[in-house]
Amino acid sequence: MIKQTHTSSLIATVILTVSFLYSAVAKADSSPAYNYLNIPSSTRIYGLGGINITTVDDDVNVTDQNPALLGPEFGRQIALNYMRYIAGSNFAGTRFSSPAGEHGAWSASVQYYGYGKMDYTDEDGNLNGEFSPKDITFSGMYAHDFTDRLRGGINLKFLYSSYSDYTALAIATDLGINYYDPESDLSLSAVLANLGGQIKRFDSRYDRLPFDIRLGWAQSFGSFPVRFSVTAWNLTKWKLPYYETGDGSGDATIKLKDSFGSNLMRHLVFAADFIPSETFNIGIGYNYKTRTDMSAYSRSILSGLSLSAGLKVKAFGIGIAFAQPHNGATTFMFNLSTNLSELL
């Protein structure tokens, strides 16, 4: 068993390891804990750069990062998701949605984040087996139409973490609003993400949630079947410096990147969604922060880029997404959904 005096060390190790799975340079972020909340469960969102709050679609998966995208037009849907993530991590979950009158809708979901196995050692470094850290999120969402173009939503999340013999509980809330003009296919959104805090700590230390303010724009132009989008995130802080490590050789100089242009780009995610029909889409996204967080000589040429594709066949929807932020870190996501309203 690990002695109580080393509880903080164990928890810090696991939290930083989990944070690394999302961002290779977690030191650039203000809070290393609970960063798994920034990992999407939607293939479409993942393909559009991993952060997107403006994609208007009738797939319940896209509501993951903005509850204001949920609506009664979704009908009664059930969706499953799976993601093979970095370092042997496996994430999976399910989501259900249903109308709530003519102008509202609700959904419920559960998401599991498993980070593989880690060595279980005592304070002297002696190996005492292995353990499997995990996080589980339970959430309930509600959205309501204020007008025919303006919709607001709230997502309440209960967060459970288990790292070896130690557990923690937290509550988080997302507040979102979306304006959508179907005539010009213009979507504008704002989200306050991850408001809340811990209600049960691992030990005496308090771990903060990654609170964030996000703004988004998406629009297609004329009959051209591509919807472009830009999402601004991490708006609670301007400076997001990172270190460039060069070619990895012993003579390489590590450089701190903290220019105006670098900070600006690390706040933005760019994406394009090719939608030739209502049943098929292909998405591509570019997340500069992901690329610079993986600023190592062995990062993939695809680092920062992500791809997705979606297909609807009658009442069923299938989605896949792919990214390779690092040569040894290929990620793959799969979505499956069905609209029970259309089956019955």
Asked whether the predicted pLDDT for residue 302 surpasses 90, the reply is: no
d(CA 139, CA 106): 11
Q: 160 or 6: which carries more pLDDT confidence? A: 160
Among 9, 45, 4, 17, CA closest to 231: 45
pLDDT digits (tens, 9 = 90+) for 247-284: 555 566 778 888 999 999 999 999 999 999 989 999 99
| Contacts with 230 (C-beta within 8 Å, 6 or more apart), sequence order | 216, 217, 218, 268, 269, 270, 271
In the chain, what percentage of residues exceed pLDDT 70? Answer: 84
Amino acid (one-letter) located at 340: L
Cβ-proximal residues to 244 (8 Å cutoff; 6+ apart), any chain: 254, 255, 257, 292, 295
pLDDT for residue 292: 85
Handedness of CA 185, 108, 31, 323 (dihedral sign): negative
- At 118 the pLDDT is 72
pLDDT averaged over every residue in the chain = 85
Closest CA relative to residue 29, chosen from 205, 216, 267: 267
- Mean local confidence (pLDDT), 193-222: 91
Q: What residues contact 39, with CB distance under 8 A and at least 6 apart?
A: 22, 50, 83, 85, 91, 113
Per-residue pLDDT averaged across 188-194, rounded? 97
Mean pLDDT (whole number) for 110-139: 81
What six digits make up the tokens of 240? 């997001």
Mean pLDDT of 315-323: 94
Residue 313, token pair as written in the block: 């066949």
Backbone angles phi, psi at 19, to 5 degrees: -65, -35
3-state helix/strand/coil string of the chain? CCCHHHHHHHHHHHHHHHHHHHCCCHHHCCCCCCHHHHCCCCHHHHHCCCCCCCCCCCCHHHHHHCHHHCCHHHCCEEEEEEEECHHHCEEEEEEEEEECCCCEEEEEEEEEEECCCEEEECCCCCEEEEECCEEEEEEEEEEEECCCCEEEEEEEEEEEEEECCEEEEEEEEEEEEEEEECCCCEEEEEEEEEEEEEEECCCCCCCCCCCEEEEEEEEECCCCCEEEEEEECCCCCCCCCEEECCCCCCCCCCEEECCHHHHHHCCEEEEEEEEEECCEEEEEEEEHHHHHHCCCCCCCCCCCEEEEEEEEECCEEEEEEEEEEECCEEEEEEEEEEEHHHHC
- Length of the chain, please? 344
Model confidence at 77, in pLDDT bands (50, 70, 90)? very high
Q: Which residue has the tokens 């695809």?
A: 302
CA distance 47 to 244: 26
* Bridge partner list, 92: 82, 112
User: Does the structure show a pLDDT above 60 at 26?
Assistant: no
pTM for the full predicted model: 0.85
Q: Say whether pLDDT at 29 is over 70.
A: no
Predicted confidence at residue 249, as pLDDT, reads 55
